[in-house]
Structures are given as structure tokens and as C-alpha cells.
Chain A
């Protein structure tokens, strides 16, 4: 047994191989940690996870109630012990959505699917302790910021028109109403026996009832966009509230020559040949003044300022949101505009500008709240007695405008509703006894169709309680359709919550 080999010892090679194996197994451990800890929450809530599907069949989804506790969605068991989901009425469908065995989920039912089913084991470390207690499978309920009475008023105000209404508290970001018409019967989709027929009919309906217009509809804004141009102008220093353009009165008559293209505007006979300032131009909704302001701001700055208010990316919200845009961004001019003609048109809300009603409500809300944009939200609390219940407090999203500039725009918007000349357009929005600010919009669509009718505003002007955006698809002039509807909804708000 002695010295039978002169070769290099093999032990070191064996040791190194062993170390390599230990390293390989450490990689396995890291992989397991990834799926079981880091990514576990996402995977465990995936809609096609069999555990989620199995629970969805058995579990009673948590209830959804409005801000005063009125039920909006509730579950019960039928005679076979299967869960049945029921919704209060059609008006809430674009917000609450539906939970169907056949067609999946939509709306808040989708966003909070895991919580409503009781699957949201919060994070993996909280989940550690859940295992030892009862009720880790307790479905949670949702308390919304929505006011069912305002929601119903908004839907009935839109009537047979297609359109959307967004009402929110500008100081907290709480959404009070988020209406979209036409709407649909979510209970019929949730009911397994009527789901297929209902869903098929809705999908073939040309009026698109399944589209939540307030968050996913994108529309030409027309003159309501001028508020954003004013914000951008003041923020960048391109204008002051006193800025006047000497060439403006003449251009009203002959059109404004930009790059050889003549931008036309109706003449405002009341203002004669006096160049207008911010308040005057907003009061009479002067396209020429805003076109010149847009050119002074520049395309790049306009797009940047818009993104400060939420343009260019989905708005972080409880529901999916479409991206609002100032321009399609395919041009070579700064900001992605084609040229100055498009920029000048975008500045008064025509051109390639498309916005969601929610986005425009946020613009009004930022002005109302002295320039601070609150994060919009629909859910104020996860309720119930399982783990994971919590209140969702208002959050500041960002400061979008300085206080002084926001006050200037407030004055201009108040003039647009209450001024001697503004009244001629927008008097319908005025709430009797409450100082009201706003801006109407008439979005030309080209061709012969009726324009979209818009209004954004807030009340009262001092210490605002509520901001609003109203859109009526092809509803005619903003002052004629959207503004009176906004006025009646604001009035309803003050009936319910008291005059300031």
C-alpha cells in the first residue's frame, strides 16, 4: 500500500469539482428564492393560476360599497352553493366592472381580484404568519371614494348620448363620479346562464358599451386644452398673465399666418381691436392668442409640461388608463410635432392632440388645488377582518404649477364662466351662489359631424371642493351641452354636501 503512484494528487481536483457543484446548487437556491419569494406574489395572483380559479369558484367575493357604504357589488350563494355576483345598477359598470366565470374580470373586479377573493397574502413575509392564523382566505371588501348619487346623476345627465363624466375632490384626488355612457348590465355578465348571450351582444354593439370612456376613451380636446397651454406658458415663462400680442386682433379677421398656412378664428366682436391678456383670451376662448402662446412655448416645452400633468404615460390609477398625447410625436420638429402649424393648432386643442376625460379632469384639479396634483384614486379602504385590510390615504402626486400661476389660471377660468363675455358662452356651468371656474371646449372633428362637447372646471374658486370634466361625443358646442350638464352636476354636489 505504499507509494504506488508518482502522479499528481487527485484530491485537489476532487475538491475543486465539489466546490463547483456547491456553487451550482447555490444557483438553484437563488432560483428557488426568486420564484418562491421575490416573484411569488405576482405569480400567486395571476388570473390563470389554478389556485385563483379554484378559489374564485368557491369563494364569495368581498363586497364593494360607495363612500357612504351603499352597496355596489355583493355576492351570495344560489341554491347549489355556487357564488353569485350581483351589481347594484348599470351606472357603476365602467368603474366596478364584472367578475364572470366565462369571461374573466374587468374594472375594479380585475384590479383587486386577488384581494376580493382573499388571495392577497400581502407580501411573502406577512404570509409567513398568515399560515398560522385563521382567515388567510378571508375575502376583503372595497370601500370606494365614489358617490353613487353623483354617479347616477352623471349617467342620467348624459342620457342617451355617448360620453363621460369625471368628478373628483381636487384636494385629495378622490374620484366622486366616473361615468361612461352607454353602459351595460354587469350582473348579466356575472350570471353564468346569461353571460354568453349578453357578452356577445355587447361585443357586437357599435356604440361600444364595454369601453370605459372616462379612462380609456381618447378624444380631441378642443378649447379645454387651452388650460394646459396656459399652464405650460406660465411654467416656462413664455408668457405672463399680462402677455398681449399686438398682431392678435388683426389675425382674428384675416387669420394667423404660420409657415404660409393661415390659422383662422372667429372674430370676437366684443373685444374690438384691443389685444387680449390671459384672462381676456380665456374668457372669449381666443384661438389666435393661444396659438401664439403655443409658438412662444415651443413644441418640446409644451410636451414636457403636459407630461408633468400626466400626459405621455398611463396615469397611475385603480383602472387601466389610455395615454393622452399632445402630438403623435412622429414629426421632426421639437417635441415630435410636424411643424409650427401643428404646434399652433395643438395649443388650442386641435391637431394631433388626444386626451382622456380623466386626464382633463386632472388638469382642472391641479389648477383648482393651487397647482398640486393629487394622485387620483377610487378605493379608500380594503375592508373586512382578514389580514391585508388597510386605508388608502390621499397622496400628493406632484406639484404641477406654482401657486401664483395656478391663481392666475383660476381667475381666467372663473372669467370664462362668470365674466361678462364668458357668460355668453358658458353660463350653463355656473352654480347659483357658488363661485365657479371652468372652460368649455368644442372639438372640431373635421368633416361634417357634430363636434365633441367638452367642459372642465371646479367650484368653489376659493377652497375648491370638486373638479369636473364632462365630455359628450358629438354633443355640439361645449357651452351648449357639456357646460350645462357640468353645472347641474356641480349643483347636485352642493345640494348633497352643502353650500360652502
Chain B
């Protein structure tokens, strides 16, 4: 295998390079504006006058490292010589860069971690996570040349996901009333971020295998057409377990995300709107039950309906976020000119995790906000394009699911920030502070890039359809899936065709 590296021909990637230059220029201009504004405001607070316009970014080294890393990833892609998507990485780099600028601009003491003598603040930590995320993207995009390891072990992945959640439930620590964080030694993370990727992999495997059955056969219950019960059961079970645990953990955002992605993928696989409609009805009923059972759900909903009723208490964050959006107006107040702190306190305490959109909406205005939403749509468009071009159902559903998981998460938190739906505490993908979130989204983007290579290893030969091999054949078919030439195929040169 080592000998093959010599045979890889570098392939230039002009589009990606041009887009990266655009992204870099934008980030440098933004950082220069941020630096000038911060110095101006500091001088104003100290009653001094600012003589000359100083455009030095607040942390030029961090910015240089980040932009350097973007080009390093580009170089790796060029050297790998794969024909992977050229738009995805610059879009992701822009979102990550915006997040980095925001984190550099917020009070650095918001999050800090000490390593020996060195104390890293918010901006530096975010940079570190971004670099790791870019490394993950690069490694996945360059090295993954087969999806067999995902396709074959879907039940193993599902089991691992559930185990991860159970671990969190038992050993996790409570933060803000939700048990989301799992700590192992010095490392801590939010497993639900990883779980969303696992969920997509499992759903892709299961739905692609049972797609025609789910689409063609149905059980009628009154006016409702439901998927055939035996094929629905494992999926609903998986879903119920995940949802149950998520509800116990009080992670409403993740619950909403999982359910929305599940419904969307069910539609992608079957093309049946009635399943999605049934799911929405199920969701409404479930929400109503949750609302009546749980105080914290009620509080969220009440805050959503009328945050101004208690603007200094439970509605504080929502109201302050709306004020931030309003201050931004159409063009924004400018990077660094927003009001992140008042008298040393944050008006929106979770601005770096749950409310980055409010801060960006204030400083970049409606224009900037629309641009950010547009960048997410670019990511989705690339993902869905990869899905539509995929050679087989598994890959199509997997790619669609990975794109959806980013888009739906961005929608849920953005809609919560904008008071279109009740706020649920999840991160804004690729912008929010947080290692788990960045790494999970890096997994998503890396896998999407790998799948985008038209030369990715061909799917295993189609199995005989289930229709002819009812129960007795089922075991055989699955076994065939495991030791099919898939493993051996993995070493076939994808690019050598």
C-alpha cells in the first residue's frame, strides 16, 4: 500500500484556491476592522483620543495560524489528488473564521483553561479546536476511500451511540440543569454532538436496506399509512431510546434535531410525505405531553411566548438577544462595536455557545446575518448535491443526512435566537465555541468531502432483494454484507481508475 503514494498525481484545485483567497481577504479585513474598533473603544473609555487609524488585528498570530491552516488543508487536498468537492471547505473555513473573530472579541475570561503555566482564553481555545477540526476534516477527506466501515457495522454504531449516552446519563455532570457533559480524566465533551453523526450513519444503513419495503408496503391505520410494522420497529425503538435518554438529560435541542433529521431522512428514503406528516403530528402530541409534564419545558415555552413579561428574570436572555439584533439594524454596528458587556457582565451570558448569532447580528447587521445563513445553505447545497450524485442509496442517504444535520441544527438554534421557536440549548454549527461541537461537525464535513469523490470505492454489489428471501434468508443476507468483498475492496485504488 505504501508504494501507491508514489503513484498519486497531485491535482490542482483552482475553485477552492480562489474561494480560499476570498475567505482569507474577508477574514483579514474583518480582523483589521475589529482591531481598530476595539482600540478606538478602549481609548474612548479612557477618555483619550485616537491619533491614527491602526488596523492591526487583535491577535494577528492566531489569524495567521488559522488562515495558514486553511491553505495547508487545501495543499493536502491537492497532493492527495482526489476529485473532492471544492466549495465545501472554503465555506466551512469562512464560518469557522467568523466564529474565531467573535471569540477573540468576547471577554477572554468567559472560558479559560490552564496548561501548566499557560492560560488559554476563549479565542485561543477556539483556535486550538478549529485547528484540530481542520485536521480531522483533512484526514477524513484524504484517507477515507471506502464507506464500508460505516455501511457494514450500522448496528454496532447504534449500540455504541446508545452506550455513549447511557454513560453520560450515569457518569455525566450537570451543567445548567441538563446532564450533557461527560468527563474522562482531563477531557470532557458532549456526547450528543457525536451521537448525531452516529444516528445519521445508522439511519442511512437501515433506510437504504429497507427502502423499497418502507416505500411500497404500508400498514393502514384509519386514514394513516404507516410503514410495515416489522420494519418500523427497530427504527422506532432506536428513536425512542435516544429520545427517552435525551429527555431525561433535558437536552431539548438535541431531541428536536434528532427527530427532524429522522423525519427528513425517512422522506428522502421513501418519498412519502405522509410519513413526515405523521411524524409531525407525533411531534406535536409529544411536545404537548412534555409541556405538561416538565417544568423546564413550560418555562422555555412561556419565555418564548412572552419574554417581556419577566425581562429581568427568565426572559432576560431572550430579550437581550432581541435588543442586540435590533441594535444591529441593517448594516450592523461593526465588528467590535457591539455591547458584549455592560458593567463587566454579559447581557447574553451564553453568547459564545447558544447566542453567537445575536452577537453577529448586532455587529454585522441583517446583511451579515443573511450572509451567514447563505453560507449554511451553501454547505447544505453541496451536501445534497453529493447525495444526488451518489452511486447508491446508502451513500445518498448518508450524504443527505450529514448535510441535514448541519442545516437543521443551524436552523433550530437560529430560529431560537430569533424567537421563532422556543430556545433550545444547542450550538450554532462551526461558529459556536466548543470542542465537541466543532469536532462532530468536522466529522460531518470530512465524511461529506470523502463521499464527494466520484472515484470513491464502488458500492458492494446489490444484494438479492428481500422480497424473495423472507425470514430464513435474512441472516444470510446480513452475513453476506459483512464478509462481502467490501473489506478487500477498500484497498482498491479509487483514484486509479
B-contacting residues of A (Cβ < 8 Å)? 1, 4-5, 7-8, 10-18, 20-22, 24-25, 27-29, 31-37, 39-44, 46, 48-51, 53-54, 121, 124-125, 127-128, 131
The answer for the CA separation of A27 and B311 in the assembled complex, in Å, is 26
B435 within 8 A of partner (CB): no
Report the minimal beta-carbon distance from A32 to chain B, rounded to whole angstroms.
Answer: 5
Question: What is the CA–CA distance of A28 and B381 in the complex, to the nearest angstrom?
Answer: 17
A50 x B342 contact (CB < 8 A): yes
Contact for A37 among B311, B339, B366, CB less than 8 A: B366
Q: Which residues of B contact A22 (CB under 8 A)?
A: 377
Contact indicator A35/B326 (Cβ below 8 Å): yes
B212 contact set on A, CB distance < 8 A: 7
Shortest Cβ distance from residue A52 to the other chain B in the assembled complex, whole angstroms: 9
- CB–CB A14/B329 < 8 A: no
Q: Given A40-B329, A50-B339: A21 and B322 within 8 A (CB)?
A: no
**Which residue on B lies nearest to A39, using beta carbons?**
B326
Report whether B411 and A25 are in contact in the complex, using a CB–CB cutoff of 8 Å: yes
Q: Give B389 Cβ to nearest chain A Cβ, in Å.
A: 8
Interface residue from A8, A46, A53 paired with B271 (Cβ < 8 Å): A8
B294-335, CB < 8 A from A: 311-312, 319-320, 322-323, 325-331, 333-334
By a CB distance below 8 angstroms, the chain A residues around B70 are: none
Q: Is the CB of B415 within 8 A of A13?
A: no
Query: Are the C-beta atoms of B330 and A37 separated by less than 8 Å?
Result: yes
Instruction: Find the B residue at minimum CB distance from A54.
Output: B342
Q: Which residues of A contact B361 (CB under 8 A)?
A: 32, 35-36
A54, B44: Cα distance in complex, Å: 14
Given the known interface contacts A14-B387, A14-B388, the answer about A36 and B215 at a Cβ–Cβ threshold of 8 Å is: no
Nearest chain A residue, comparing its CB with the CB of B272: A13
Tell whether, in the assembled complex, residue B411 and residue A28 are in contact, meaning their CB atoms are under 8 Å apart: yes
Cβ of A18 and Cβ of B326 under 8 Å apart? no
B487 shortest CB reach to chain A, Å: 19
Interface of B is mostly: helix
Which residue on B lies nearest to A24, using beta carbons?
Answer: B411
* Residue among A28, A33, A39, A127 with most chain B CB within 10 A: A28
| A18-B380 in contact given A4-B462, A10-B397, A35-B418 (Cβ < 8 Å) | yes
* Cα–Cα, bound, A10→B270 (Å): 8
Measured CB to CB, the nearest residue on chain A to B264 is A17
Give every chain A residue within 8 A of B197 (Cβ-Cβ).
none
Residues of B within 8 A of A127 (CB): 329-330
Q: A27-B420, A32-B361 are in contact. Are A12 and B323 (CB under 8 A)?
A: no
Q: How many A-B residue pairs have CB under 8 A?
A: 152
Give B418's nearest chain A residue, CB to CB.
Answer: A31
Chain B residues in 8 Å Cβ range of A48: 311-312, 319
Residues of chain A within 8 A (CB-CB) of B373 are: 25, 28-29, 32
B123 at the interface (CB under 8 A from A): no
User: Which A residues are CB-close (under 8 A) to B387?
Assistant: 10, 14
Q: In the bound complex, do residue B369 and residue A21 qualify as a contact, i.e. CB atoms below 8 Å apart?
A: no
User: Is B377 touching A21 in the complex (CB atoms < 8 A)?
Assistant: yes
Taken together as a complex, chains A and B put the C-alpha atoms of A230 and B415 apart, in Å, by 58
**Provided the pairs A22-B377, A44-B326 are in contact, do residues A28 and B414 lie with their beta carbons within 8 angstroms?**
yes
Residues of A within 8 A of B329 (CB): 36-37, 40, 44, 121, 124, 127-128
The interface residues of chain A lying within 8 Å CB-to-CB of B331 are 128, 131
Distance (whole angstroms) from the CB of A312 to the closest CB of chain B: 28
Nearest B-chain residue to A36, judged by Cβ: B366
Query: Is there an interface contact between B267 and A13, defined as CB atoms closer than 8 Å?
Result: yes
Is the pair A43, B411 in contact by a Cβ cutoff of 8 Å? no
B157 within 8 A of A: no
6 residue pairs of the A-B complex, CB under 8 angstroms, read A4-B462, A10-B268, A11-B388, A25-B411, A44-B327, A127-B329
Give A20's nearest chain B residue, CB to CB: B264
Q: Give, as a whole number of angstroms, the nearest-CB distance from A28 to chain B.
A: 5
Q: Are A51 and B376 interface neighbours, CB within 8 A?
A: no
Give the Cβ gap from B30 to chain A, nearest Cβ, in Å: 16
Across the interface, name the chain B residue whose C-beta is closest to A11: B388
B393 within 8 Å of A (CB atoms): yes
Q: State A16–B377 Cα separation when bound (angstroms).
A: 14
Given A35-B326, A37-B330, A44-B327: A25 and B392 interface contact (C-beta under 8 Å): no
Of chain B, the residue at the smallest CB distance from A8 is B271
User: Could you tell me if B380 and A51 are in contact, using CB atoms closer than 8 angstroms?
Assistant: no
A17 touches B366 (CB 8 A): no
Docked Cα-Cα span, A423 to B408, in Å, equals 82
Contact B311 A43 (CB under 8 A): no
Contact A50 B391 (CB under 8 A): no
Which of A31, A40, A53, A54 meets B420, CB within 8 Å?
A: A31
A34 surroundings in chain B (CB, below 8 A): 418
Closest chain A CB from B209 CB (angstroms): 12
Which residues in B have their C-beta under 8 angstroms from that of A25? 373, 376-377, 407, 411
Please, which residue of chain A has its CB at the minimum distance from the CB of B270? A13
Task: Decide: A35 near B322, CB < 8 A? Known: A5-B393, A14-B387, A14-B400.
Answer: yes
* Pair A43/B322 contact, Cβ less than 8 Å: yes
| A54-B407 in contact (CB<8A) | no
Inter-chain contact B420/A51, CB cutoff 8 Å = no
Beyond the given A35-B419, A36-B365, A40-B329, please list 4 additional residue pairs across the A-B interface where CB-CB is below 8 A.
A4-B392, A7-B212, A14-B396, A53-B342
- In chain B, residues 254-313, which have Cβ atoms closer than 8 Å to a Cβ of chain A? 264, 267-271, 311-312
Contact residues, B152-175 vs A (CB, 8 A): none
**B319-359, CB < 8 A from A:** 319-320, 322-323, 325-331, 333-334, 339, 342, 347
Task: Name the A residues within 8 Å of B459 (CB-CB).
Answer: 4
Contacting residues of chain B (74-120) with chain A, CB-CB under 8 angstroms:
none
Residue of B nearest to A27 (CB): B420
B320 adjacent to A50 (CB under 8 Å): yes
Residues B393 and A15 in contact, CB atoms below 8 Å apart: no
Expressed in whole angstroms, the minimum distance between the Cβ of A136 and any Cβ of chain B is: 10
Contacts A35-B325, A51-B323; A18 near B381 (Cβ below 8 A): yes
- With A24-B411, A50-B320 already in contact, the answer to whether A40 and B326 are too (CB < 8 A) is yes
Task: Find out whether the CB atom of A17 lies under 8 angstroms from the CB atom of B325.
Answer: no
- A454: shortest Cβ distance to chain B, in Å? 41
Contact of B415 among A8, A14, A17, A31 (CB under 8 A): A31
Q: Do A18 and B384 touch across chains, with their CB atoms under 8 A apart?
A: yes
Contacts of A10 in B (CB 8 A): 268-269, 271, 387-388, 393, 396-397
State whether A13 touches B268 (Cβ < 8 A): yes
Q: Tell me how far the C-beta of A271 lies from the nearest C-beta in chain B, rounded to whole angstroms.
A: 61
**A128 vs B387: C-alpha distance when bound (angstroms):** 42
Q: In the complex, what's the smallest C-beta–C-beta distance from B150 to chain A, in angstroms?
A: 17
Minimum CB–CB distance from A2 to chain B (whole Å) comes to 10
Roughly how many angstroms separate A50 CA and B345 CA in the complex, as a whole number?
11
Instruction: Indicate if the CB atoms of A8 and B392 lie closer than 8 Å.
Output: no
The CA-CA distance from A121 to B332 in the complex, in Å, is 13
B488 within 8 A of A: no
> Mask for B201-214, Cβ within 8 A of A = 1, else 0?
00000000001100
Known: A13-B268, A15-B388. A4 touches B327 (CB 8 A): no
Which A residues are in CB contact (< 8 Å) with B366?
Answer: 32-33, 36-37
B333 / chain A contacts, CB cutoff of 8 Å: 131
Which of chain B's residues have a CB closer than 8 A to the CB of A40? Answer: 325-327, 329
Which residues of chain A are within 8 angstroms of B264 by Cβ–Cβ distance? 17, 20
Instruction: Tell me which residues across on chain B come within 8 A of A51, comparing CB atoms.
Output: 323, 327, 339
Question: Would you list which residues of chain B between 361 and 398 have a CB under 8 Å from chain A?
Answer: 361, 365-366, 369-370, 373, 376-377, 380-381, 384, 387-388, 391-393, 396-397
> Which residues of chain A are near B222, meaning CB under 8 Å?
none
Given A10-B268, A10-B397, A31-B418; A54-B339 close (CB under 8 Å): yes
Q: Bound complex: CA of A1 vs CA of B397, how far in Å?
A: 18
How many Å from the CB of B9 to the closest CB on chain A? 22
Q: Are A21 and B325 in contact (CB under 8 A)?
A: no
Nearest-CB residue, chain A, relative to B397 = A10
**In the bound complex, what is the Cα–Cα distance between A306 and B242 (angstroms)?**
66
Complex CA–CA separation, A7 to B387 (angstroms): 16
User: What are the residues of chain A within 8 A of B312 when measuring CB–CB?
Assistant: 48
A171 to B121, CA, bound (A): 67
Instruction: Verify if B31 is at the interface (C-beta below 8 Å from A).
Output: no
